[in-house]
Copies of this chain bind each other. A is one copy, B any other.
Amino acid sequence: MTPAAGGATSPYVAVVGAGGVDVAPEVLAVAEAVGAELGRRGAVVVTGGLGGVMEAACRGAWSAGATTLGILPGGDRGAANPFVSVAVATGLGELRNGLVVRSADAVVAIAGGAGTLSEIAFALKAGKPVAGIGTWRIDGVTDAADAATAVALVFGD
């Protein structure tokens, strides 16, 4: 017997980055490619559940038939992007960033601002691998040139 979706024993990888409507198209394209590659590898893709990089990563995962977990800042599931398979409406505001990281085994950070930085920091504090594409240059974040490289890094290929 196996569960209906990813199950708790699949790899869970968070994809973090900016959520605004003004994220550059090339950043969204990278996020979608990361989500798709993670999905092909059988990962559950964890995001903050909103738009921008989060939605693009979910769309990519969805296109690969993968499960996406959206951990929302507000108390309303309706804020989730349409490619979220399972939503958690936390009502915790930005503190939910910590839950995104706790829920994942590794993190791919794509561009992003201060919220993304908090997720990188939580991951480093917890000793989880972080691959970065065009994001904060922080000791401990491994730079990746593209989606395939980032995913390979977090899978320890």
Contacts and interface: CB of A to CB of B under 8 A. Distances in A.
Interface of A: 1, 3-9, 12, 44, 49, 58, 61-62, 65-71, 75, 77-78, 80, 82-95, 97-99, 102-103, 113-115, 117-118, 120-122, 124-126, 136, 138, 140
A32 to B, nearest CB: 14
Given A3-B83, A4-B66, A125-B118, A75 B102 contact: yes
Please tell me how many copies of the chain the complex holds: 4
A78 to B, nearest CB: 7
9 closest A-B pairs (Cβ-Cβ)?
A5-B85, A8-B80, A118-B121, A8-B87, A117-B121, A114-B124, A114-B125, A5-B5, A95-B98
A4 B67 contact: yes
A146 B22 CA distance: 38
A62 B3 contact: yes
A123 to B, nearest CB: 8
B89 A114 contact: no
A47 to B, nearest CB: 12
Nearest to A39: B4
A77 B3 contact: no
Contacts of A117: 117, 120-121, 124, 138
Nearest to A74: B102
A86 B1 contact: no
A102 B89 CA distance: 6
A102 B121 contact: no
